[in-house]
Structure 1
Amino acid sequence: MTAGGFFAAAPDAALAALFVPFDVGELRLPADGRALFLRARAGMRLREMAQPGWLCEQGFLPFADELGRNGLRVGEPAADEKFPLVLLLPPRQRDEARALFARALRHLAPGGTVLAAMPNAEGAKSGEADLTKLAGAVQHLSKHKCRAFWSTPQPADVDQDLLAEWLGLDAPRTIVDGYVSRPGLFAWDRIDRASALLAEHLPANLHGRVADLGAGYGYLSTQVIARCPRVDALDLYEAEARALEPARTNLARAKRECGRELATTLYWHDVTRGLAQRYDAIVSNPPFHQGRADLPELGRAFIVSAAEALLPDGRLLIVANRHLPYEAVLASRFHEVRALVVREGFKVIEAVGVRG
């Protein structure tokens, strides 16, 4: 945990494994000191290896902030920018990972090397096989229960048709009920059951300015628009930048379908660091894990931020897995706390009246 939030980017085995090829002499850092690190994560090994010419790309804001606090340059490469070394930590979701491999090759300079690392238990062999399909010959090393694999392809080695196809895998796409999402987002290809339960129990008398914390591709916000006609302003907070474009599309459709005007704003923001606005009501399906590890402190941090942002008579509506221990922090922050429904392993809780 950092002073500002619970999402600090802790060093992990994949990051350590990523630099093993340099440690054992299989690879050398570029002479010009330039590299692109896609899906970069902060950690001791990165601080040891990174040079001033490295550019770290990270769309999850808490991780991006941690990279910046470590003195690393964070941003996005220009569309035509090329690097002699492209590093990446591919995600578990395969379509998202394939799109990332394709982006890595698009930004690779002639004669350059693309290097990835993945935990063995999270698809490392599949990731290596995908890079092989795309770039040709691949080498690998195993360490820390992870696999580092790399390729230094000639232009003729790269399957350009496959590269174009895989670049498109990251594009927002229609999933169910007309919603737009993209691979790798939370519940990206469906309507999350917990969020649907909360939507079913949204009070029609919600009014004024409302916030959706951890909005994802915007499902809950669209339901607020459809079910709560007295809401006249709606702010969405989401830490994953890749979710913002689908959310914007889904909001636009929801406003067209409801046939009324209301102000909507999307914020790329880490909710655990607090909110700048004050609200009449807040809705949330707060995260309670980081990667595969349960971390209920995340949900509690969302509750604290919500309580601090609500007006004195404001209302918080959250949904959570039934076993998560949120009641104590809710009772410490609100005068009234009650469960609206407990069903299918989830609970919808309403908290009203912020304690001074």
Structure 2
Amino acid sequence: MWSTADDGALRALFWFLDGEGATLPDGPRLFLGAVPGDWVGNAVAGGWLCEQPFAPFARSLQGQGIDAQPRVDATGVAVALVLPPRQRDAARALIARAARATRAGGIVVAAAGNNDGARSLESDMRSLFGSVHADSKHKSRVVRAIVGADKPDAGLLAQWLALAEPCRVGEGENAFWSRPGLFAWDRIDPASALLASQLPATLGGRVADLGAGWGYLSMHILRACPGVTAIDLYEANAAAIEPARRNLEALCTLRPDVHCEVHWQDISAGMPDGYDVVVSNPPFHIGRADAPELGRAFIATAAAALEPRGEAWFVANRHLPYEALLAERFRTVTTPAQRDGFKVLHAREPRR
């Protein structure tokens, strides 16, 4: 179901390691942003520490024998490998965490595709470390720096480490917790806003929010739907879990009658059943590549998780062909709204 959209940066990173492996310092190795690939055998044998916050990739790595964790706060490593995300503040945070984890005399090596922030990566690592070495391979840049007594820059390191933590966005009633690198991390995306505008206040019972991100839809439901008794957020990106939890905690103090939980989970692999309502703004791409099968997987999972008289609400780009599958999995399907290139889909009574 899930796959890396472009493994050029991964191949470039291990091209460098294969060529320079004999000259790298001995000791523990840390891989931040580790993704499945042919490199895994060496990591298993060497006991590498691997971080992967995206649940499908973490599960795949675990199936290959890697103890991939959503967060690894290591210290004293000899080599830190980094595959940073495209969002620049999130990339800076990951580079800073790699620098903090690496001992003096150790090396930080990062790679990014030429169209995915390679130039910014090299510039940022130069700002942090002072001097770097860079190579081009597989349409990517591999950038490396040695950690020393005065490298990285302490002030900049502290600034970038702060980017790795949840932050408050906005003011007053519209404020929420988020984190750089999440989808629409500093705003309410228009598709989710359209879906929220169509959700009736009469929604009630147990609700599941699939691909919940930092929790916007669940926050709206807690404010607008007094009949809700429980709400579960399911999100594959572990970086969203703490912001979502904080957002729900703030509202659940006003709704002590509602049981709220946040789950780090790959929805395409299934979820518990017994829900009265499912809401979702499902993903439809991996990296830059369109992947409408993700939305179809969310629809199938939602249908299996709902009670016989349950209902599901989805929002999607207008061109995505979800209607046929919805008609196959539900007895009633309508399109309550279409606006600005998005459509809201409402499905009732899943077929068994």
Instruction: Work out the CA distance in 2 between the residues paired with 1:245 and 1:26.
Output: 37
Deviations 1:265-293 (A, max 9, x none): 11100000111232011000011111111
Deviations 1:209-235 (A, max 9, x none): 110000000000011111111011000
- State the AA in 1 paired with 2:138: H
Q: Secondary structure at the match of 2:150?
A: helix
Of 16, 34, 38, which residue of structure 1 is paired with 2:11? 16
Cα separation, 1, equivalents of 2:286 and 2:168: 26
Residue aligning to 1:93 = 87
Contact 1:96 1:184 in 2 (8 A): yes
Q: Given that residues 15 and 45 in structure 1 are in contact (C-alpha distance below 8 angstroms), is that contact kept between their aligned partners in structure 2?
A: no
CA distance in 2, matches of 1:330, 1:18: 42
Q: Provide the rounded CA distance (Å) in 2 between the counterparts of 1:48 and 1:281.
A: 45
Contact 2:276 2:311 in 1 (8 A): yes
After the TM superposition, which residues 1-356 of structure 1 pair with which residues of structure 2 at under 5 Å, given as runs? 6-9=1-4, 12-25=7-20, 28-32=23-27, 34-48=28-42, 51-75=45-69, 79=73, 81-176=75-170, 177-256=174-253, 258-356=254-352
Give 1:122's aligned amino acid: D
1:79 Cα deviation after fit: 4.4
Residues 351 and 165 from structure 1, CA distance in 2 versus in 1: closer, same or farther, beyond 3 angstroms? same
Shift of 1:354: 1.0
Q: 1:352 to 1:112 in 2, by over 3 A?
A: same
Q: Please, which moves more after superposition, 44-53 or 282-291? A: 44-53
- Aligned CA-pair RMSD: 1.7
Q: Is the 8 A contact 1:9 1:66 kept in 2?
A: no
* 1:157, distance to aligned residue in structure 2 (A): 2.6
Q: Calculate percent identity across the aligned residue pairs.
A: 50
Counterpart CA distance in 2 for 1:21 and 1:271 is 35
Q: In 2, are the aligned partners of 1:11 and 1:42 still within 8 Å (CA)?
A: no
Distance 1:26 1:57, change over 3 A: closer
Cα distance, 1:8 vs structure 2: 3.7
Aligned amino acid, residue 342 of structure 1: Q
Q: 1:11 to 1:190 in 2, by over 3 A?
A: closer
Q: Distance in 1 between matches of 2:142 and 2:93?
A: 18
Instruction: Write the distance in 1 (CA, Å) between the matches of 2:6 and 2:23.
Output: 22
Report the 3-state secondary structure (helix = DSSP H, G, I; strand = E; otherwise coil) of the residue aligned with 1:122.
coil
Instruction: Give the secondary structure class of the aligned counterpart of 1:75.
Output: coil
For residue 16 of structure 2, what is the amino acid of its counterpart? P
| Mapped contact 1:86–1:107 kept (Cα < 8 A) | yes
Q: Tell me, yes or no, if the aligned pair for 1:82 and 1:109 is still in contact at 8 Å.
A: yes
The amino acid that maps onto 2:12 is A
In 2 relative to 1, CA 20–305 (structure 1 residues): closer, same or farther, beyond 3 Å? Answer: same
Local SS of the residue matching 1:155: coil
Change (3 A) 1:208 1:77: closer
2:275–2:305 Cα contact (<8 Å) kept: yes
Quote the Cα distance in structure 2 between the aligned partners of 1:69 and 1:10. Answer: 20
TM-score of the superposition, structure 1-length normalised?
A: 0.94
Deviation at 1:311, TM superposition (A): 0.6
After superposition, the Cα gap between the structure-2 partners of 1:138 and 1:46, relative to the gap in structure 1 and judged at 3 Å, is farther
Task: Give the alignment's TM-score, normalised by structure 2.
Answer: 0.95
Contact 1:22 1:28 in 2 (8 A): no
Deviations 1:134-180 (A, max 9, x none): 11221111011000010113122321111011100122222232111
**How far has the Cα of 1:81 moved from its partner?**
2.4
Residues 78 and 235 (structure 1), Cα distance of their counterparts in 2 relative to 1, 3 Å cut: closer
Secondary structure of the corresponding residue to residue 68 of structure 2: coil
SS where residue 81 of structure 1 aligns? Answer: coil
Q: What code does the residue aligned with 1:44 have?
A: D
The verdict on how the C-alpha distance between 1:28 and 1:11 changes in structure 2, with shifts beyond 3 A counting, is: farther
One-letter code aligned to 1:232:
T
Total equivalences in the alignment: 349
Q: C-alpha offsets along residues 87-121 of structure 1, whole Å, 9 cap, x if unaligned?
A: 00011111111111110011001211100000011
Amino acid at match of 2:245: R
Gaps in structure 2 of 5+ consecutive residues = none
Once the two structures are superposed, residues 223-278 of structure 1 have per-residue CA deviations (whole angstroms, 9 ceiling, x without a partner) of 1111111011000000111101111111122234x555210011100000111232
> Secondary structure at the residue paired with 1:340?
strand
Q: Secondary structure at the match of 2:273?
A: coil
Distance 1:327 1:227 in 2: 27
State the Cα distance separating 1:50 from its structure 2 match.
5.6
Q: 1:70 to 1:9 in 2, by over 3 A?
A: farther
Cα pair 1:99 1:169 within 8 Å, conserved: yes
AA aligned to 1:171 is E
